[in-house]
Chains A and B, each alone.
Chain A
């Protein structure tokens, strides 16, 4: 159906979705022209600074460091969260014993643990990777557990009637049934990973976008601070778009018309 939408409709849709952002950006350019505040430089100044940090390689190094830490931590947290989530969802006893412990851990602010992680694992990447793993583990765990518990018993019975082995039941029925939950957990976790990495880098790091924001602000490189924030905003939007896309692609089989109707 999408290719039948005309160019006018597309322009209109683009206008509707971007007008608020464009107006705010224009305000960000216009207001500093009349009102001078060292903490609010014009967007144009910020973009010029951004360009400079791109050319100098400073931005790439910091962004690469943050993304690398994010990726490794997210991957580790995702794998651990899915594995334990499957366990807790499938075995009632496992949930009874482990759930209270996880509830306490989950509701402890992740960043509160950073100093402890730094003491144990140093100021380098390892402490941050482990902290991100910690922060992304819980959304994955909870969603996976929920997904397994919500697997339709009719489908399990239907598969059992065809004499499936336990392994087949698990990989061909339980896991796919839980996949929509796992995927939305992954989208949440990816967002969490970016938040945690920035916080962690502010409290102690050699490189990274979080450190760039913090270091710039304490040294009065205000434009550079904004430049780093803009990059973080763009990264956040891109990561969310990618994970949402992944979620949509892998859950094509779900009836979405009920939601949009």
Chain B
């Protein structure tokens, strides 16, 4: 890691303080499911500038919900989430979200998709074009600039979604299982490409995934989340050298991290079962702590 990056890590980009979320379903007469459901409880984390953080956990652990809270699209019901020292109250262009379903506008060409956020930012037509060109080139798809999304493969679509988010220059990229829908080989290429882009642009990235390998391979730290209610169980510092190559996945260090995350998720499975049969949804959350192996 370059020294400048170490220095920047002193700055805190994202901070979550006791974030909780309770859904209240609408009341109907005689509906046994009416009431409230706790999706997140006591989520505490801070993410430094330029840091790559993975959130890993099984389906339903609230990791995507937490990401949407950070994006401003989902309101929280407890605690506070901050970006650059300001509480998050809604979406803004200081954060870019990248979804699993690509979410490219099908009626816009690649170029026009990348320009979308720039239009919202009221950037002139000429500058929009130049900036879009630059980021389409960054993801290596210049020759596809005038194609429509349906003409692209899944991997290409996701690279364009990344270019679109980078184009309006957010401080933080929020990625919601972005590579879950592409094939294994493409995913491997996208991992390396994402790391290359991250090192070049110095963005803070919060990356949600259910793949343990993916979370470790990419991140500086991995936050392991467990469900019912969703909370961060532990945050692991990943001290693998960068730049990372696929070969690292067969190293013994990588294996140790993998086992550790696996263990954290396994234990939780058993414990959650117990808790549900005993007292429903109520139980104390564990306070997340930093550990390194």
Contact = CB atoms under 8 A, between A and B. Distances in A.
A161 B106 contact: no
B120 interface: yes
Interface string A148-159: 000000110111
Interface in A148-198: 154-155, 157-164, 168, 172-173, 176-177, 179
Contacts of B194: none
A235 to B, nearest CB: 31
Given A154-B101, A173-B105, A253-B150, A161 B71 contact: yes
A159 B105 CA distance: 9
A255 B72 CA distance: 32
Given A154-B99, A158-B103, A163 B119 contact: no
B99 A162 contact: no
Contacts of B107: 176-177, 179, 253
Given A176-B105, A254-B150, A158 B92 contact: no
A163 B91 contact: yes
A4 interface: no
Interface in A244-258: 252-255
A88 to B, nearest CB: 22
B148 interface: yes
B99 A158 contact: yes
B269 interface: no
Given A154-B101, A172-B116, A253-B150, A160 B106 contact: no
A161 B168 contact: no
Contacts of A159: 105, 116
A162 B73 contact: no
A226 to B, nearest CB: 45
Contact of A164 (B108, B120, B149): B120
A161 B96 CA distance: 7
A162 B105 contact: no
Given A158-B103, A168-B120, A163 B150 contact: no
A161 B72 CA distance: 7
Contacts of A252: 148
Interface in B108-133: 108-109, 116-117, 119-120
B90 interface: yes
Contact of A163 (B99, B103, B108, B120): B120
Nearest to A169: B120
Nearest to B95: A161
A248 to B, nearest CB: 14
A162 B150 contact: no
A162 B148 contact: no
A224 to B, nearest CB: 48
B138 interface: no
Contacts of B91: 160-163
A162 B106 contact: no
B74 to A, nearest CB: 10
Contact of B73 (A157, A173, A176, A253): A157
Nearest to B72: A161
A162 B116 contact: yes
A160 B73 contact: yes
- A-B residue pairs, 4 tightest by C-beta: A158-B103, A255-B150, A161-B97, A253-B148
Interface of A: 154-155, 157-164, 168, 172-173, 176-177, 179, 252-255
Interface of B: 71-73, 90-93, 95-97, 99, 101, 103, 105-109, 116-117, 119-120, 148-150, 168
